[in-house]
Amino acid sequence: MLRAGERAPEFTLPDQSGQEISLTSLLNRGPLILYFYPADFTRGCTSEACSIRDLHTDLQAVGLNVAGVSPQSPDSHSRFRDKHALPFALLADEKKTVVRMYDVNGPLGFGVQRATFLIDPSRVIRDVIVANFRIAEHEAFVQKCIALAEGGRN
């Protein structure tokens, strides 16, 4: 798995609308919380996405952006995003190319690890967490990123 201090690999994936989105284009807006999740519409992934949604105003206030990545199709992401009013991009990595680039493939190549990266605009990974079954740890990580960004603005 990629660690803090390493350079985040560049990628381009379709979002929930089928529009191609690159890491660089996401970082043009500022630091990015890039999170990988196993599947749309599952209990844990829905809980994680909704917790990030509920923090979205705070994220925007400190200049942080968010994008989620999983192996489902743009259509699945569109339905998931609409159903839960998610205000951030969901990227479709159907061949798990980016999942492998970030080394978050599940055990024996099955599934996707639940991992969240904080990436700065120069593509350096500033922090990362992996907590496959502990959704609350991802929410705490996002809150920590908000606090760090607030501290950097003062």
Instruction: Point out the residues that are catalytic.
Output: 45
CA dihedral 72, 95, 53, 144 (to 10 degrees): 150
CA distance 93 to 111: 12
Beta bridge partners of 89: 67
Question: What is the DSSP pairing of strand 65-70 with strand 32-36?
Answer: parallel
CA distance 90 to 26: 12
3-state secondary structure of 150: helix
